[in-house]
Homo-oligomer: A and B are copies of this chain.
Amino acid sequence: MNLHQFRFVQEAVRRQLNLTETAKALHTSQPGISKAILELEGELGVDIFVRHGKRLKRVTEPGLQVLKSVEVIMREVANLKRIGEEFSKQDAGTLSIATTHTQARYFLPGPVAQLRKRYPKVQVVLHQGMPEQVARMLLDDVAEIGLATEALAAHDELITLPCYEWQHVMVVPAGHPLAALERPTLEQLAAFPLVMYQPTVTGRTRIDQAFERAHLRPLVALEAIDSDVIKTYVRLGLGVGIVAEGSMRTEPAEPDLAWRPLGHLFGSNVTRVAFKRGAYLRQFVLAFAELLSPRLTPALLERAMAGQGSDYEL
């Protein structure tokens, strides 16, 4: 039994049981993978994979149990590396953040800048993706901390905590008829083509639900992943934009655009921060969490990471 075998089995599952792919991903030879897995199976006296002839078909019943343990082991091995980093290069290391465009562009710059000020030797790596990819990156140990409004709470391998609350806002060119209204209604909005986020991103779900409840089917002129694209097309007069309020609180302000809160229509959204269950959080990771929201104290995180639930209210 050795760590290589564990890594191979785990990666094989991630690669849909394709050992050739697995070998490429791990920069080693395919027969090596094959042999190691066979060896582990022999040692445990149990088949981990069901084979049809020479092809891996699926994971066996005991294989599932084995994977659970392997998962834990690999997690702790990763933690060991982090522990090493934490203590050897004091206050240095790499912090990988997985997040969506909106967070990366409008919310994270502040906290990241503060972190770099306090820990100049920490290198920050931003991985951008759709919310589902953010979750994936956490699960695959590509990123250590994730930030998104959607999808994170759905995985029970992840610990998620509420980070901040925000509402959607309407954005239109200055002088647009809707700009005159303080509290636009759903009907008024639906009278114009809309420019907004793609279905899986940044609270889009709630918008769809609100229109549906009102039996309105607004015309969607354009769907984008990010607020910048949306604003660009709003400027072009393509329609009325709906974005996260954070996207509008820019420095400097944008005088050619007018915006109005839409919380009364779509309620409020909660952006969540997520960690992989069981992860060891280095000092600067804890510090970063506290920068994201002052309520995410080291003490709270410790409790959350130690506990069983997957979702912690403050």
Contacts and interface: CB of A to CB of B under 8 A. Distances in A.
A141 to B, nearest CB: 15
Nearest to A83: B65
Contacts of A182: none
A76 B80 CA distance: 15
A269 B85 CA distance: 49
A69 B76 CA distance: 5
A73 B77 contact: yes
**How many chain copies does the complex carry?**
2
A84 B65 CA distance: 9
Interface residues of A, number: 31
A69 B62 contact: no
Contacts of A65: 83, 86-87, 280
A3 interface: yes
Interface in A34-76: 43-46, 61-62, 65-66, 69-70, 72-73, 76
A129 to B, nearest CB: 29
Scoring A2, A77, A83 by chain B CB atoms within 10 A of each residue's CB, the highest score goes to A83
10 contacts: A1-B80, A3-B3, A44-B84, A45-B84, A45-B85, A45-B87, A45-B89, A46-B88, A66-B80, A69-B280
